Amino acid sequence: MLLEDRKTQIFPTLTPRQVEFAVRFASGPARRFQAGETVFRVGDRNAGVWLVTEGGIIATRRDGLGREQLFATCGPGQFSGEVSELTSPSKAARRSALGQIHHQT
């Protein structure tokens, strides 16, 4: 099976009902960010897993020449930050708000 075929398993998008259920288990209060505002930076520790409930997040990181490159995007019903929570205590990419976002940790 190709990676492209498994993207929905690797990067799931929750239904509105699933989001409503998941928010009940959030470890912190909901927060809002304005467009372009940094959600967390490379190297931040203990930022947790974020569930986007409105808006979106873009993840960027710098390449070997110092250029900022798009790494990933996530929108409502998607998670951000989960891979680094499983593999490392610090974030590997910078996340910024894409439009106004509302999220739960």
Whether the Cβ atoms of residue 74 and residue 52 lie closer than 8 Å to each other = yes
Please list the residues that pair with 103 across neighbouring strands.
31, 52
Residue 7's alpha-carbon distances to 3, 10, 11, 27, 85, in angstroms, are: 6, 5, 6, 27, 19
Higher pLDDT, 11 or 78: 78
CB atoms near residue 103 (< 10 Å): 25
Q: Which residues contact 2 (CB under 8 A, 6 or more apart)?
A: none
Alpha-carbon distance of 77 to 98, in angstroms, equals 15
pLDDT of residue 87: 54
CB atoms near residue 91 (< 10 Å): 23
In order of their start, the domains of the chain are 3-104 (2.60.120.10)
Alpha-carbon distance of 79 to 55, in angstroms, equals 12
What value does the mean pLDDT take over residues 24-28? Answer: 81
pLDDT of residue 1: 55
Binned at pLDDT 50, 70 and 90, residue 100 comes out as: low
- pLDDT tens across 29-87, in order? 888 888 888 888 877 777 777 888 888 888 888 888 888 888 788 889 988 765 555 55
